Structure 1
Amino acid sequence: MIELLWLLLPVAAASGWWVANRQAAKSGGSTVGSAEYFKGLNYLINDKPDQAIEVLTRMADVDQDTAEIHLALGNLFRRRGEVDRAIHIHGSLIARTHLTVDQRHGAVLELGEDYLRAGLFDRAEALFQELLDQPDYMEVAISRLIYIFQQEKDWCQAIHYCDRLERMGGESKRKETAHFCCELAEAASTRGEGVEAKKWLLDALRRDPGCARANLLLGGFAVQAGDYRAAIEALQAVERQDPGYFPEVIAPLGACFVAVGRPDEWVQYLREVQARDHGGRVTDALAEWLLQRKGEEATVQFLNRELQTYPTLLGLRRLVEIKLARGEGAEYADLQALHAISTQLLNNAARYRCAACGFIVKTLHWCCPSCQQWNTIKPMADLVIGTPR
């Protein structure tokens, strides 16, 4: 309760003086309102928040201007996580008939925030909908509705309100709406509606030409349909859109080039990418191809050169595996231990990190579970255990 008191004191000092003067002016010097106010404050000091809330709420009947006190008090309770108390205060304000129009709208907004914090999305939605025709509250109401529809996975409604916010001159939501389209495409694909899924993905690229997720999905759908050339075109676009997601397409893209009889073209393309990205997964893919086509010696030479400048766990494990396969004996005991350690590290390592908040996960999420931002979680570069000199 001490923390709340310190937060409230600045409000209390100004509001107490103001309420007392207002009441004195209205009643010829009466200090009833002031006495009630300090009675409520005394309850707070003595850690009796329920009685304080009752007294301060009752003061709204004395003077409509004291509504600001209740709004501030409710906000403080919400910040402390005492959402039930915040709901009680803001709900009591809305029930009053003497509030000004602006005060009521302010109370509706705050009660909507309370319900949002409590996870009561249906109630919050109804309150924010009520504010959509109020110019001073429209933008914040729309942003809250977008959040609610995302949580409820109502992607069409989320797109609608994002577009409405943009038309108002608000911040661009094209990156977010592109992902909402991708969500709708995945749902349509699950239902077996391939044409509908492709329509949503093309809409995603129209909204955000840099949406790598849309091309990842287009490539995946094309592979399922056996259209490997279309898959190659979509998957190669991923590296141009966002190189950070290229590790996600290495395996399916390589398989597509092989399926259309163009393995040499695949290796050439992979070498071009590696000139820009010496990450472990690109190196490992090249090493695998060399092992199959050129043999162990060529692969060992490639890995030795690569690891001297760009040491990676994946490259190290591949090199150890080749050397272990060459023979047996006591001299290989250290290599076996090194292989076990590197494998354990790779199996336990988180593969993805959010560029916005640093959240680390083992599987790809398009919306960060921590900061709720879209397109910020990407494959980690920390498989590289050294830095080039």
Structure 2
Amino acid sequence: MKTKTLLLPALLLLLNACSKSDNDPSAYIPVDPYPAITAAFGNNIDMESLANYANQPIPPYITRDNTVGNPITDKGATLGRVLFYDKNLSASNAISCASCHIQGNAFGDAAESSQGVNGGTTRHTMRLINSRFGVERKFFWDERAPTLEFQTTQPIQNHIEMGFSGTSGDQDMAGLTNKLQNIAYYKELFTFVYGDEQVTETRIQNALAQFVRSIQSFDSKYDAGRATVPNDGQPFANFTPEENQGKNLFLLPPQFNATGSRTGGGLGCAGCHAAPEFDIAPNSGNNGIIGSLGNMALLDITNTRAPSLRNIVKASGALNGSFMHTALPTLQAVIDHYNNITLAPGNTNLDPKLRPNGFGQKLNITPAENAALIAFLKTLDGADVYTNAKWSSPFN
């Protein structure tokens, strides 16, 4: 009788559960709290287990960080990833941030001029690799953006690029925020990140900046060598003699005679692109490239920003795009340019480091030095950034 007494309540509970399931099947079917996100992104975004953006490993020798007031979070960068790849951010629904900043090209563009909704860009697209790890907080070639946050929505508000300029018949940013406000997955994502579904320019900026700052590359041959020595001046055991020679040439300043001709020392690249971040030094002047994309006769001397030199060339030797704002076609063209700087009329903004003793520098690079420098620059390429799913398109 005691056994029957214990079994009876359990049996009644089971029968009651079955009855409830028959009457209200949905009571026992798991409910997806993010149906629009699931529909748009499938398994590419797991809301219960987000990709790691906030706590990625950073080598101890990397000390620069331009993040101020907008730390990377997994939630914010996830939203930023969606925004970065979403063509709804353009007036034509045909262009996204990723249309010009392509993962397979280290988030740069192989084309000289990137295609926007109303034509081509007037400057070559800058790569985004390691945007976080630099002293310089200003962005764009001419540094017109005071922060990365501000930069993220400027292409959106450009008539040529993404078409929400508020001019030439374009809608303004209010048109974009209203557009995104009515997309179901943004209602869920903004609520997930910010606590409510309101779409604002500031929220878009913060999320995009978090995603861009999360794009990092520290798995190069250079990093493997740098991790084993106390400073960059030491020989790297994993480098070839040529690569170590190229590193020394990159790091050491040149010695010039009275007329600006190199007589010894290195090539001085680190004067503007210091290791180990290889970012651009703040307050750098123009580098001697003074033309404009598609019109080299048009004077453009305000370009003083540059991306990190990491991942300029794939390990295979293929380029991740051309160089400088005017799209120099090869790495050799870049070296040739710095090898012999011309004091061009009208360039009042040339960096002083490029005009020793008042003359345009002549580095007199030998063929062996040229090959060594290129060999070293190729060691700065990592592999993970090209294929890591957390930086890829989340759309099905």
Length-normalised TM-score, structure 1: 0.27
Structure 1 or 2, whichever has the larger Rg, is: 1
Length-normalised TM-score, structure 2: 0.27
User: Greater helix percent: which structure?
Assistant: 1
